[in-house]
Amino acid sequence: MLTVLIRILVALPTVLFFYQGVNWLFQPEEAAAGLGMSLLSGIGASTQIGDLGSFFLVNSGLMTMGQFRGRSQLLYIPAAFIGVAGIFRALSAVMGNADFAAQMIGFEAILTVILVVAARHLGSQEK
């Protein structure tokens, strides 16, 4: 039962990350607004769309693959990316470069914990 709950807890953000990644390609203004920013223009827009789209799609793919038997270690990769993003958000606020995004940092911290717990639990089920 715990394994089913953990898989659901990983599946929900997986779907959200996939949606956000695809949105960067097809509706970049909406994707940017969803993250509290406006879409840049020119090379800046290319960077936003490419970097953020890939961040969300690759992490979604890793969260999906990490749920397959024998692949739970893949969940550590999105955990690291998402956790470090939260750390950078906090540091940017401390350094005075951005507002403190408590809600986003909280989400990233919770998701990082979920992914690490899932990787450990699913990994223990693989032995």
Per-residue confidence (pLDDT) for residue 126, from 0 to 100: 72
In the chain, pLDDT over 70 holds for what percent of residues?
Answer: 99
Closest CA to 56 of 113, 111, 15, 89: 15
- Reply yes or no on whether the pLDDT at 16 is more than 80: yes
Q: pLDDT for 28-74, tens place per residue? A: 999 999 999 999 999 999 999 999 999 999 999 999 999 998 999 99
Residue 63: strand, helix, or coil: helix
- Reply yes or no on whether the pLDDT at 125 is more than 90: no
